[in-house]
Amino acid sequence: MQWEVPVVGPGLGEICGPASAVQISLVCSLVQVIGHSNFGSIRATTCVYKGKWIYEVLISSQGLMQIGWCTLNCRFNQEEGVGDTPDSYAYDGNRVRKWNVTTTNYGKSWAAGDIVSCLIDLDEGTIVFCLNGVSLGTAFDNITRGAGMAYFPAISLSFKESVAFNFGSRPLRYPFTGYRPLQDPPSMDLVKAHKLLGYLKNVIHIGIDVLEGKLVEKDTSTWQLQGEPTVLITLAHIFNHFAPLMCKVYLVEDVLMNFLLSILERGGSVEAHPLIQQLLDLMWLLMEDYEVHECLKQLLMSLLRAYRFSPIIPDLGLQIHYLRLTIAVLKHEKSRKHLLNNVLFDVLRSVVFFYIKSPLRVEEAGLQELIPTTWWPNRFTKEGKESKEVKEESAEERLRRRAYDRGCQRLKKRIEVVEELQVQILKLLLNNKDRGGGEASRYIFLNKFRKFLQENASNRGNLTVLCPPEYMVCFLHRLISTLRCYWDGHKAKAPAALSSEEAYVPPQLFYNGKVDYFDLQRLGGLLSHLKKTLKDDLALKANILIDPAELQAVTMDDLDEDEESATSTAQRPVAALAIGGALARPSWLSSPTLGRANRFLSTAAVSLMNPRRSLGTLEKMKARTLNVEQRTEDDIEGSHGNEGLLLGRPPEEPEQSITENSLLEILDGIVMMYNLSVHQQLGKMVGVSDDVNEYALALKDTEEKINRCPKKRRDIYEELVKSQKVFSEKLNHLSRRLAWINVTIYSKEKMQDVYWLLRVCIRTIEHGDRTGTLFAFMPEFYLSVAMNSYSALKNYFSPVHCMEELPGYEETLTRLAAILAKHFADSRIVGTDIRDSLMQALASYVCYPHSLRAVERISEEQRISMMRNLLAPYEQRPWAQTNWILVRLWRGCGFGYRYTRLPHLLKTKPEDANLPSLQKPCPSTLLQQHMADLLRSDCDMAPSFLNSVLNQLNWAFSEFIGMIQEIQQAAERLERNFVDSRQLKVCATCFDLSVSLLRVLEMTVTLAPEIFLDWSRPSSELLLRRLAQLLNQVLNRVTAERNLFDRVVNLRLPGLESVDHYPILVAVTGILVRLLMDTDFQGAKRATAVLLADPCFQLRSIQYLLGHAEPSALAATPPSADKRHFSLHTYTDYISLEELAKVERMLSHLSEESKQAAASILPTSEEDLCPICYAHPISAIFRPCSHKSCKACINQHLMNNKDCFFCKATITAVDDFTKPASS
C-alpha cells in the first residue's frame, strides 16, 4: 500500500510496519489516514534531498500522533514511531512535544480542525512546524544531510486517530514564501483559468448600448443574462475553454471559489448578490452536465474543507464568509437539488456545515479580548457539593461576575450569527415548494436523511461512516429550529393543525411500514414477532392486513439462519407493506447484519382493508415496491385518499390534522439522533464545568494555606504563591472556554430545545399507549430519549440554567412520572435493557423532592397500580432496584434513618455529590399509605411479598457472611496477598442489600403491623417466626464479641467503607422497637413470645445495642483503652432521645420476659420436641398421615412443598396438636 503522490526526488515507496496498521483513502484529493493499530507508522512514497519543502496535515482528531519527516533507514514498530528513531523528526501536539530519539517541550496543543504545516529546509538543515499558519519556532537544526540522505513525510498515530495530508493537490491553506509543496501546482492551467475569468468579468462589467452602438460599464450586482446574441456567443466561447478547467480540484478552489467569495465581500445579505445565481444559470446553460456536476461537487468540498479548518477568530468572520457562499450556491434550485441528490450526504459529511467547533486555545480565538474579565462560581464546599449557606457576594465578585456575563453575551451574539446562517441552509434544504424540474428539495433531503440515520445506527464501530457526536449535537439544534419554523408556518396557513408546542409523532408511523427503523429494537421485541402475534389487532384497529399465506413463508427456521442464499431470497414473493405507495424493505437492508427481523419484512405482504371489512372478503391489491431513496412526495404526504405516512390511523388517535407528514418523519429522525449520540456528548462536555469546580476548590484551598502560612517559612510561602498563580491561569483559561461551551451547547435556547424534545416524546408515548397492544410497535428509543433528556435537563444544564424556569415544568414532570410509574412493569415492554432503564429512572425520580412530588401528583389509580407492581414478589425480576425504590420512600421515617451519609463515613470518605443515595431524605407518606392499604386489603399479596423479601434477606446476608469469611482468611495469611477488588465490591453490595431489605421490613411492620401480629390472618404467625429467626441470626453475627464481623470492619479495606455496625444494627433495632414497643398489648405479647421462643435468641445481643458488654467477656479480659464498644448512645445526632428511651424500655421488657419464660418452662422430654428442629415442642399434626412437628417447621415447609416430611404423602390439612394430659 502506498500513498499516490507526485514524485519529488527519488520515487521510493514503502510502508513501515504491517499494512493493516493504518487505513489510507483518497478523500477530496487529500490523502486520509486512519489508525488501525496501537501505534501504526507510515511514510510517503516521495522524498526530498535538497531545497525547501512543505506539506500540510489537516487534524481530524486531536489524539496521540507524531507528524514529521523520516529517512529510508528508519524502522518503526508498535512501540517506536516517527521521532523515536535516529534521522526521524516529529511534532506531537497532543502532548505538546517534539521528538528525535529524546523529547522536549515544543509548540502548542492542537485540536480537531487545526492545520499543521511541516517545513523542511535541506539547504540550512532545519525543520519547522506551524499551527494554523503561525510558526512554532525551529524544532530541529543541523539535521543529517549529504549523500544518500533523503526525507519522506511520515506519521505515527494511535488507534482510530484520523488526519488528511495535502501535498499540493489542493492549494495550501498557509503557504510560506520560499517553500514548495511536494506536488507542484498546475501553473499553466492557473494562468489560463485566471485569464478566462478576466474575460468573464469583462463581459459582466460591460454591456452593449444598442441605441448608441457602444460599450458601456454596468453594475455587476444587477447583471442579468438578457439573451443578447453577442453576449451569449462571447460567453459560450469563454466557457468552451473555461468549463474543462473547472473540473479540476485545484482550480475550483483557487480560482472559482475565491471569485465567488469576492462577490459576497461587498457586504449585505446573500439576496443582495443575485450575480452568483446568474453565474450558476450560465454554468448549467453553457457547460456539459458532467462538467457542472464535477464543478459543483468540488466547489462544495472546498467550501466544507475551508469552513471546517478555518481557525476561530473573535468575530467568526471566516466561518460566516464560507457559510454565506454556501447559502448563495444552495439558493440556486437546480444546483441545490443536484447537490442534495448526489453530494451533500453521499460524498460529503455535510453535517460539518452545522458544527461550531470549540477552541482549545482561547488566546488564538480572541476570547481574552471578548471576555477580558473571568469569573467562576465560588459556592462549593471541599467535598464538591454546593454550599448549603449561600454566602453574601462581595462587591468585587459581583463586578467580576457582571463583567463576565457581559462578555458571554457578546460571544453569544456572534455565535448566533453563525447559527442563523446554518438554519438558513437547512431551510433551503427543507423547501417543499421548489417543484420546478422535479421533486421538491424536502423530499430529497428526507430520503437522504433517513439513510444518514441508518448509517449511524448500524455502523456504531465504523468511524469512517459515523457522524462525530459533537457534529450531531449542533445538527440536532439547527434541525429543531428549522423544523419548528416550518411547522408553525404550516399552522399559520392551516389553523386546524397543531402548533410545534403540541408536536408529537403519531403511533401509526411505528407499524404501517412507511418509515424505516432499520434493526432498532421495538418495545414488544422483534418486528417479525409483532407482525405475527398482533396481526389481528392491526386488522381490527388500524385496517392493516398481513396476508396469512405470506406469514407462513417465514418459518422459525428462516429466522434462525445467519445467512440466506441469493436464490432463496429471489424466489420469495415481495409485497408492499401497505397500499398507497408504501415502502417495502430495500434490497440493501436484507443483509444478515441488519437483523433477522428485516429479512422477514421483505416477505410480509401488508395491505389496506376497507373500514371494518371482514378478513374473509379481503381483495388482493397491487402496490408499488419502493426503495427508501425512491419515495416521492405522494408516498410521504399522501394524495387522492392515500394518507401517506399516516396510513392505518387507530380509532384512539384523533382525526385532527397534525402538520405536514414530511415534518413528522423529520421529527422522528430528530428523536433518533438524540438517542444515537447527542445525549452522550452532552454528558461528556460537562467535564469542563467539573474541571472549573476542581480548580476553584484547589485555588480556594491554596489561598487559605497562604493566609495560614507562618512568616518564617518563606520557602513554603513562595511555593504556595506559585501554585496559586498556576491555578488562577488555568481557571482564567477554563472559564473562557466554559463560556464558549455554555453558549454553543448549554445555552438557554439549547435547553429549551431539549425540553421541547422531552415533551414531544412524552406526548408520543401517551398517544402510543392509548392504542393498547399496538404500543408494542413503538421503537425503544422514544422511552430512552424521554428519560435521558430529562436527565440532561436536570444534570447537565445546571447551574447555568434552572429547569424550574421552563414553561409547564411541573406538568411535564408529572406526565413523565405517570409514564415511568405505568411502564416500568408494562407487560407490552419485553426488552430487558429498557425495562431496567425504566426502573432506574423511577428509582432516581423518587430520590429528589421535586420529582417525588410529581409522582405524588399523578392520579390515585396510577399511584396504587405503581405500588402494586412494586409489591409484587421479588423472584424472577430485578428486585434490588424495586427494593431501593421502596427504601427511598421510607428513608427519613425509620429508626435512626434520617442521615444523608452514613455517620462513620463523615470523616473517612470524601462526599460524592452525584450519588443519588446522598440526597437528603424525602419520604412520601402518601405512597407509604398506599402500600399499607394494599398489604392490608390483599390477603395474598402480603404473604407472597414478605416471604420473597425474607428469602432475599436470607440469601443476601448469608452471601455477605460467606464473603467476609474468605476476606478474613486472606487477611490472616502470613504471605503477602491481595483481596480481589471485585469481591470486595460484591461483598459491600450484599451488605447494602441486607440493610435495605431490613428497612423495607421495618417499613412494613410500621405501616401494617397486623400482617405479622394479627394471627387470624393466614401466614401471619409464620411470617413473624421467620422474621424473628432472621433478626436473631443477624444480631448474633454482628454483635458477638471479637467476632468475624468486628475483625473485617476493623480492617477498613477500600471498597468496604459502607460495612459497619451502625446501618445494620439500627435497621434491626427499628423492627424490634416497632414490634415490641409501638404496638398494642396483644401484639407485643405475641412478638415477645415468638422472639424468645426462637432458639437463636440471645439477650446479650440486645444489650450490645446500648453498649452493655458481655459479662463473661469482661471477666476474661480487662477492657482496653483504645477498644470502643458500639452503643446507640454515641449517635445522638442521628437517633432521638425518644428512640433511645424506647430501646431502653425494650431491653428491660425482654430481660424481664426472658426471666419469666426461663422460670415457667418445664423440662421437655426429647419425645415431645419437634423431630425436625429439636427447638420447639410439637404443636401441629398433619392430615391425613398424622405425622407431627412444630408449627414453624411445617408452615415453612408448606411454602414450597406439599409432601409430608416423613412419608411423602400429600398434606391436605394441618391441625393444632396438644399433648393429652394423661401423657
- DSSP assignment of 1140-1156 equals HHHHHHHHHHHHHHHHH
**Given pLDDT bands bounded at 50, 70 and 90, which one contains residue 426?**
very high
**Given pLDDT bands bounded at 50, 70 and 90, which one contains residue 603?**
very low
Question: Quick one: average pLDDT of 887-913?
Answer: 73
Amino acid at 1221: A
**Given pLDDT bands bounded at 50, 70 and 90, which one contains residue 624?**
very low
- pLDDT tens, residue by residue, 497-524: 999 999 999 999 999 888 889 888 999 9
Instruction: Transcribe 380-429 into DSSP letters.
Output: B-TTSSBPSS-PPPPHHHHHHHHHHHHHHHHHHHHHHHHHHHHHHHHHHH
- DSSP SS3 for 1002: helix
- In whole angstroms, give the CA distance from residue 956 to residue 660: 56
At 38 the pLDDT is: 81
Cβ-in-10-Å burial (0-12, 13-18, 19+) of 1007 comes to buried
- pLDDT tens, residue by residue, 913-958: 344 446 788 899 999 999 999 999 988 889 999 999 999 999 999 9
Q: Answer yes or no: are the C-beta atoms of 299 and 273 closer than 8 Å.
A: no
At 993 the pLDDT is: 94
At 219 the pLDDT is: 66
The C-alpha cell at 394 is 462581595
**Given pLDDT bands bounded at 50, 70 and 90, which one contains residue 383?**
very low
- pLDDT tens, residue by residue, 47-65: 998 899 999 999 988 889 9
- pLDDT tens, residue by residue, 66-83: 999 999 888 888 888 899
Which of 1019, 1023, 1166, 1034 lies closest to 1096 in space, CA to CA? 1034
The C-alpha cell at 389 is 449557606
Beta strand residue intervals within 444-594, DSSP E: 544-546
Phi-psi region of 100 (alpha: psi -120 to 50; beta: other; left: phi over 0): beta
Residue matched to cell numbers 411547522: 487
40 pLDDT above the threshold of 90:
no
Q: Answer yes or no: are the C-beta atoms of 575 and 501 closer than 8 Å.
A: no
Q: Which of 624 and 253 is assigned the larger pLDDT?
A: 253
At 612 the pLDDT is: 31
Residue 990 CB contacts under 8 Å (≥ 6 apart), including other chains: 956, 957, 959, 960, 963
Residue 409 CB contacts under 8 Å (≥ 6 apart), including other chains: none
Which of 68, 66, 126 lies closest to 96 in space, CA to CA? 66
At 1189 the pLDDT is: 86
725 pLDDT above the threshold of 50:
yes
At 888 the pLDDT is: 92
Residue matched to cell numbers 450531531: 472
| Beta partners for residue 121, in sequence order | 52, 126
Q: Answer yes or no: are the C-beta atoms of 1012 and 1027 closer than 8 Å.
A: yes
At 552 the pLDDT is: 57
**Given pLDDT bands bounded at 50, 70 and 90, which one contains residue 203?**
confident
Query: Containing H/E element for 216?
Result: strand 214-217
Q: Is the Cα dihedral 1033, 1035, 1041, 1043 positive or negative?
A: positive
Cis peptide bond upstream of 849, omega within 30: no
Q: Which of 840 and 1118 is assigned the larger pLDDT?
A: 840
- DSSP SS3 for 137: strand
Question: Quick one: average pLDDT of 134-148?
Answer: 90
900 pLDDT above the threshold of 80:
no
- DSSP SS3 for 1103: helix
At 465 the pLDDT is: 66
What percent of the chain has a predicted confidence (pLDDT) above 90?
43
Q: Which of 512 and 463 is assigned the larger pLDDT?
A: 512
The C-alpha cell at 1117 is 479480659
| Beta partners for residue 288, in sequence order | none
Q: Answer yes or no: are the C-beta atoms of 401 and 393 closer than 8 Å.
A: yes
The C-alpha cell at 58 is 489537516
The C-alpha cell at 581 is 405507495
User: Buried b vs exposed e over 162-194: b needs ≥16 C-beta within 10 Å?
Assistant: bbbbbbbbbbbbbbeeebbbbbebbeebbebbe
At 1111 the pLDDT is: 53
The C-alpha cell at 685 is 462536555
Neighbouring C-alpha atoms within 13 Å toward the C-beta of 826: 25
- In whole angstroms, give the CA distance from residue 221 to residue 33: 43
At 960 the pLDDT is: 93
**Given pLDDT bands bounded at 50, 70 and 90, which one contains residue 1164?**
low
- DSSP SS3 for 1162: coil
Q: Which of 388 and 266 is assigned the larger pLDDT?
A: 266
Average pLDDT along the chain: 82
Which of the residue ranges 1023-1037, 1149-1163, 1200-1214 would you say has the lowest mean pLDDT? 1149-1163
At 929 the pLDDT is: 95
Residue 319 CB contacts under 8 Å (≥ 6 apart), including other chains: 307, 310, 356, 418
At 1121 the pLDDT is: 43
Q: Answer yes or no: are the C-beta atoms of 1064 and 1046 closer than 8 Å.
A: no
**Given pLDDT bands bounded at 50, 70 and 90, which one contains residue 565?**
very low
Cis peptide bond upstream of 1118, omega within 30: no
Q: Number of helices (H) and strands (E), helices first, in the chain?
A: 41, 21
- pLDDT tens, residue by residue, 806-859: 999 999 999 999 999 999 999 999 999 999 999 999 999 998 999 999 999 999
Cβ-in-10-Å burial (0-12, 13-18, 19+) of 1148 comes to exposed
- In whole angstroms, give the CA distance from residue 160 to residue 22: 9
In angstroms, what CA-CA distances link 1128 with 732, 1036, 1064, 1133?
A: 50, 17, 12, 10
At 655 the pLDDT is: 86
Which of the residue ranges 217-231, 565-579, 1193-1207 would you say has the lowest mean pLDDT? 565-579
Residue 878 CB contacts under 8 Å (≥ 6 apart), including other chains: 835, 836, 839
Residue 1146 CB contacts under 8 Å (≥ 6 apart), including other chains: 1072, 1073, 1076, 1077, 1102
**Given pLDDT bands bounded at 50, 70 and 90, which one contains residue 587?**
very low
**Given pLDDT bands bounded at 50, 70 and 90, which one contains residue 554?**
very low
Phi-psi region of 436 (alpha: psi -120 to 50; beta: other; left: phi over 0): beta
- In whole angstroms, give the CA distance from residue 85 to residue 74: 6
Q: Which of 13 and 404 is assigned the larger pLDDT?
A: 404
585 pLDDT above the threshold of 50:
no
463 pLDDT above the threshold of 90:
no
- In whole angstroms, give the CA distance from residue 531 to residue 605: 11
627 pLDDT above the threshold of 80:
no
Runs of H (alpha helix) within 939-1097: 941-972, 981-1007, 1010-1013, 1020-1039, 1044-1051, 1061-1076, 1081-1093
Q: 141: how many CB neighbours lie within 10 A of its CB?
A: 11
Instruction: Transcribe 307-369 into DSSP letters.
Output: HHTPPP-TT-HHHHHHHHHHHHHHTSHHHHHHHHHHTTTTTS-GGGGG--PPPS-TTTTTHHH
Distance, first Cα to last Cα, the chain? 101
- DSSP SS3 for 206: strand
- In whole angstroms, give the CA distance from residue 466 to residue 489: 33
- pLDDT tens, residue by residue, 999-1035: 999 999 999 999 999 888 888 888 898 899 899 999 9
**Given pLDDT bands bounded at 50, 70 and 90, which one contains residue 30?**
confident
- DSSP SS3 for 30: strand
Amino acid at 764: T
